[in-house]
Structure 1
Amino acid sequence: MKHHRLAAAVALVGLVLTGCDSQSAKKELELKTPAQKASYGIGLNMGRSLAQEGMDDLDAQAVALGIEDAVAKKEQRLTDEQLMEAFSFLQQRAEERMAAIGDENAKAGKKFLEDNGKREGVVTTASGLQYEVVKKAEGAQPKPDDVVSVHYEGKLIDGTVFDSSIQRGAPIDLPVGGVIPGWVEGLQLMHVGEKYKLYIPSELAYGAQSPSPAIPANSVLIFDLELLSIQGQGQ
């Protein structure tokens, strides 16, 4: 994460709170008006985002003090050099924490796949992909250049759901060759009408590059996947 990202986030809160004097800011805030609710939501989302990126040791009172000084056009209490030094320190700590989490995920994922591969009904392919056939069917099998319609639910190995077309109640269409490698391989094993459970090693998913806070680096991904149709072929 870049230094300016943290600074920009703090500046955003300052913009949201512009017009609030220091006395009213110290009072217990009642979230009644749309502006108050939206302001709270922005602060909540910013806090969650920073915490997910390892910035969970920020001092909320110091953040508020910086906002008050900026809104009141007071002279800043720290030099730019001191601020940059502090940003660098927090960035380094955040990167160290995220690296440690990635290492833990890699170890936990390896152990999970080793144990899971021993279960009856679980097949492990040459690439390391693991799958179970939940429901068999005799439909066509897709090719890499096909577009398919699927229903799915994705989980981490601890059971946390990070995405689900099933919960949204709307299947998605996607190109077989345009998804993560574990899906590319898994979809081509399936017949239309079948349901599989895929256990995808991190190297066949997103590896060390976390695509979002919901999927930490080096995560093994588990998908309940149903192949509904191949575009142009029907059921």
Structure 2
Amino acid sequence: MKQHRLAAAVALVTLVLAGCDSQTSVELKTPAQKASYGIGLNMGKSLAQEGMDDLDSKAVALGIEDAVGKKEQKIKDDDLVAAFADLQKRAEERMTKMNAEAQSAGKKFLEDNAKKDGVVTTASGLQYQVIKKADGAQPKPTDVVTVHYEGKLIDGKVFDSSIERGAPIDLPVSGVIPGWVEGLQLMHVGEKVKLFIPADLAYGAQSPSPTIPANSVLVFDLELIAIKDAAKAAADAAAETDDAEVEEAAPAK
């Protein structure tokens, strides 16, 4: 874990200390009570995403109560600094272990997956399997394409899905992760494929989201719906920009 990520979590705790009601026998009726609960909920989610799942929630609540009630703190600052250093060290150790496990599991997954019927492995290490074949055009690096997709980890957990949202997306072929850049150019319009993307062709050690562990192999169900006309795609993008500018300039209702 990076230092700034722990600092962000600590800053969130500070926000709660500054903004929470001092009442610990909580009712969730008024807007202020609900907002206070939401702050605590977001704080807990943030800390859990950082891997700090061994925190004592009662001790957190006690710290909030003492701060809001202007009581004498029960632990000296020097001891708190040492405790935070220990917390960060343990979180980093957990993260290192998780990264190593993800890397090992991903390697084994790809080795086993490469032996399955219909799975093709390219020179880069990308693996793909054609689910529905078609004879449409193939996109170039300069094209904008319309796709439907669903992204999963190797354990089957879905982390993103245009299919669930019910709306395909337009994207530039060269504006996505390397595994997609290569995979899209292998496809024909109308085809559906499954991409198995090694970590170094995805996000590597730099996870973009807590839902995607570092060094993860990613699995995508991908459908290439269309290749957009370049001029039309540029015009559509310009129109969207103009609409946004008009909306920003419009007076509030």
TM-score (norm 2): 0.85
1:34 match: 31
Shift of 1:5: 2.2
State the Cα distance separating 1:78 from its structure 2 match.
2.7
Tell me, in whole angstroms, the C-alpha distance in 2 between the residues paired with 1:34 and 1:68: 20
Q: SS where residue 227 of structure 1 aligns? A: strand
**Structure 1 segment 207-226 matched on structure 2, within 5 A:** 207-226=204-223
- Alignment partner, residue 225 of structure 2: 228
Q: Is 1:89 aligned to residue 86 of structure 2? A: yes
**Superposed counterparts of 1:10-89, under 5 Å:** 10-18=13-21, 20=22, 24-25=23-24, 27=25, 29-89=26-86
Residue by residue over 1:82-115, the C-alpha shift from the partner in whole angstroms, topping out at 9 and shown as x without a partner, is: 2221111101100110110111111111111111
Structure 2 residue runs without a partner (length 5+): 233-253
**Total equivalences in the alignment:** 228
Choose 129-138 or 160-169, whichever is displaced more.
Answer: 129-138
Tell me how large the CA RMSD over aligned residues is.
1.7
Q: How do 1:1-235 residues align onto structure 2 when only pairs under 5 Å count?
A: 1-2=2-3, 3-18=6-21, 20=22, 24-25=23-24, 27=25, 29-232=26-229
Alignment partners' CA distance in 2, 1:15 and 1:231:
51
Separation of aligned partners in 2, 1:75 and 1:4: 24
Q: Which runs of 5+ in 1 are unaligned?
A: none
Match of 2:247 in 1: none
Structure-1 separation of matches of 2:96 and 2:121 = 28
**Greater Cα offset, 33-42 or 183-192:** 33-42
